[in-house]
Structure 1
Amino acid sequence: MTARFLEALLAAERPLVMEVKRRDAHGYDLLGGRTPAAIVESYEKAGAPCVSVVTGRWFGGTPALLRDVAALTDLPLLQKDFITRRDQLRTARELGASAVLLTAALLPRSAMRNLITGCLSAGLTPFVEVTEEAELDGLPHTDECVIAVNNKDIKAKETDRGNLDRSLALLPALRASGTRCPVSASAIDGPVAAAELLAAGFAGLLVGTSLLRTESAAGWLDQLDRARARPAVRSV
């Protein structure tokens, strides 16, 4: 059970972690009158390999949202919140998570190592989020972790526009870390940007606001397929 989230993402033809999030960093509603059930159904129909559920209060989330989504789907779920203690890992598992977000910028090195080990012991995939190369130093069990570059500024509560060049600059360091699944997360504003990141060598992407604002997740992915069929513009 430990690698369920990781393996699902690695095996996917379209390796997107599609997100359920009530509002964006500025407080704007992202559901648009839809229920989480309707969003999850649209993701399943679009072939999502995994789903991210934002339970952090900054984005209007609650732990109950994870529990509710887990009751709707068998897809592996990522809990996105500020995980800082081992007891939160047990709760995440009980609520239905297969992976949890661990934010390097908010955790001391010793706590990060302890939580990665705790995740694996609890049957969870560590989804380690970094913003600079130094945060990769000393990470244990990287071959069992998803390691993701957050393209936004966590210290500004992700209210900035984000910078995809951060992902491209850090991709070689992610590869060198030993992870099998380097991911680019946040600020991916459309299918063209997503296609460029996949062409550059990312094994997965986490896309939230862009998908939630589109009229059709399936249509968004059709555009992604067309963009991937064209020659890549950006590379590292």
Structure 2
Amino acid sequence: MTLEFTHALTSARRPVIMEVKRQDADGNDLLGGRSVAETVARYERAGAPCVSVVTGHWFGGTEDLLAEVAGLTDLPLLRKDFITSRSQLVRTRELGASAVLLTARLLPAGVLARLAGHALELGLTPFVEIADEAEAAMVAPGPHCVVAVNNKDIATRERFPGDLGRSTDLLPAVLRTGARHAVSAGGITDPRRAALLLDAGFTGLLIGTGLLGTPSLTQWCARLDEARG
């Protein structure tokens, strides 16, 4: 169902989409010696409402990774990759995802709108990523779409630390689109900063490297809860 992903996120006590990503853009391992199954189980124990799965080859991802995660959990899954065609959307649904990343920087406005519409027809939540006001202006989200601010730069393959100020600056532009679900994505490592983003008005957060690298996910989540009061 199209509502599956957004309902899970918005109804969660801790609305953090936790990400499975094999490696960074330089090829460094991010799973820390854990298997995919161990990583997914760790997220489930931490109460993740949704899981993001990076299938893009920049980060060592494959379609098989998404299928593997889908076989390990009943949580709604977001596929993160550079999606540019309807056939990729069909394949995304076949692999077990509930939502799909659409990157505004890579798609003309008309193509973005068509792909978002196709995604909804297939029962996928469009997870539209923007990085500036011009890209936000391209978005015409329906009530079940997510608009996400990417705090990192895809032009550099997200090699450098994220700018969380980008999320804060762009939230008004995201809300002007009429989006009901705004997410801050990338570069979030500090639970206190994460709490500030949620308090500012973001529906949820997407965190990958920051959670994969933390020694204790339980403690990280506890600090987030404490910071939110």
TM alignment of 1:46-125, pairs within 5 A: 46-125=46-125
Q: How far is the alpha carbon of 1:179 from its aligned partner?
A: 1.1
After TM superposition, the runs of 4+ consecutive aligned structure 1 residues lying more than 6 A away are: none
Aligned residues: 229
Q: What is the rounded CA distance, in whole Å, between the counterparts of 2:163 and 2:140 in structure 1?
A: 27
For structure 2, which runs of at least 5 residues remain unmatched after alignment? none
Q: Over residues 117-167 of structure 1, what are the superposed CA-to-partner deviations in whole Å (9 max), with x where a residue is unaligned?
A: 000000000000000111122433432210000001111111121211110
Q: What is the rounded CA distance, in whole Å, between the counterparts of 2:95 and 2:134 in structure 1?
A: 32
Match of 1:184 in 2: 184
* SS of structure 2 residue aligned to 1:29: coil
Match of 1:234 in 2: none
* SS of structure 2 residue aligned to 1:143: coil
Match of 1:154 in 2: 154
Q: Return the letter of the residue paired with 1:223.
A: R
Residues 140 and 177 in structure 2, CA contact (< 8 A), matched pair in contact too: no
Q: What is the rounded CA distance, in whole Å, between the counterparts of 1:138 and 1:36 in structure 2?
A: 36
TM alignment of 1:1-236, pairs within 5 A: 1-229=1-229
Residues 77 and 96 in structure 2, CA contact (< 8 A), matched pair in contact too: yes
* SS of structure 2 residue aligned to 1:111: helix
CA change 1:66–1:169 in 2 (3 A) is: same
Residues 142 and 177 in structure 1, CA contact (< 8 A), matched pair in contact too: no
Residues 21 and 31 in structure 2, CA contact (< 8 A), matched pair in contact too: yes
Q: Over residues 2-39 of structure 1, what are the superposed CA-to-partner deviations in whole Å (9 max), with x where a residue is unaligned?
A: 11101111111100000000011232101121111001
Q: Return the letter of the residue paired with 2:126.
A: P
Residues 141 and 177 in structure 2, CA contact (< 8 A), matched pair in contact too: no
Q: Return the letter of the residue paired with 2:17.
A: V
Q: What is the rounded CA distance, in whole Å, between the counterparts of 1:22 and 1:128 in structure 2?
A: 22
Q: What is the rounded CA distance, in whole Å, between the counterparts of 1:140 and 1:201 in structure 2?
A: 20
For structure 1, which runs of at least 5 residues remain unmatched after alignment? 230-236
Q: What is the rounded CA distance, in whole Å, between the counterparts of 1:97 and 1:106 in structure 2?
A: 21
Residues 42 and 218 in structure 1, CA contact (< 8 A), matched pair in contact too: no
Q: Return the letter of the residue paired with 1:52.
A: S
* SS of structure 2 residue aligned to 1:88: helix
Residues 104 and 138 in structure 2, CA contact (< 8 A), matched pair in contact too: no
Q: What is the rounded CA distance, in whole Å, between the counterparts of 2:214 and 2:138 in structure 1?
A: 39
Q: How far is the alpha carbon of 1:216 from its aligned partner?
A: 2.3
Q: What is the rounded CA distance, in whole Å, between the counterparts of 1:167 and 1:139 in structure 2?
A: 16
